[in-house]
């Protein structure tokens, strides 16, 4: 059996290639500006009061496929990639002058519910150390 080149690794069956998961260039592809002052304050306990907003955002995400959550820092982007077998991948991206974060989570068909996706959005906000802006449109 011949060895594969590192430039062309073997793809596992049933999983999407990485090329399918990479977003195209967009307005957020530019590096953020240098920080001017200290990062905004963050308290994890404050995220609890935004759960109704995150539930509405999760319903919109399941309906539309992608959303932007306005935060006290830079916006948090979220999107769902659905596959023919009923599974999906939830991707979240946050970029700021203080750092960036990305997350991916596989969702089984029984987990494509607003309450499950809302808890994943809360974890993404927790990891980015930002909180959503109250009263934003869904």
**Domain assignment present for 67:** yes
Q: Which pTM does this prediction carry? A: 0.70
Q: How many domains does the chain have?
A: 1
| Token pair listed for 126 | 């927790």
Give the pLDDT band (50/70/90) at residue 46: confident
Q: What angle do CA 8, 82, 68 make, to 5 degrees?
A: 105
Domain extent at residue 127: 51-138
Range in 54-63, 95-104, 117-126 the model is least confident about: 95-104
Assign residue 131 the CATH number of its domain.
3.30.160
Burial (CB count within 10 angstroms: exposed 0-12, middle 13-18, buried 19+), residue 30: exposed
Answer whether 76's CB lies under 8 Å from 69's CB.
yes
pLDDT-derived band of residue 19, with 50, 70 and 90 as boundaries?
Answer: low
């Amino acid at each position: 059996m011949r060895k594969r080149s590192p430039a062309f690794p073997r793809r596992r069956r049933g999983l999407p290639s990485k090329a399918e998961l990479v977003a195209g260039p967009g307005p957020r592809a530019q590096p953020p500006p240098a920080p001017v002052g200290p990062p905004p304050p963050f308290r994890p306990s404050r995220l609890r009061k935004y759960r109704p907003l995150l539930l509405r955002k999760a319903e919109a995400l399941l309906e539309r496929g992608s959303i932007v959550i306005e935060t006290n820092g830079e916006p948090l982007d979220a999107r769902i990639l659905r596959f023919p077998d009923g599974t999906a991948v939830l991707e979240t991206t946050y970029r700021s002058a203080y750092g960036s974060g990305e997350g991916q989570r596989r969702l089984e068909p029984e987990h494509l519910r607003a309450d499950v996706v809302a808890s994943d959005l809360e974890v993404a906000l927790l990891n980015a150390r930002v909180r959503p802006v109250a009263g934003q449109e869904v």
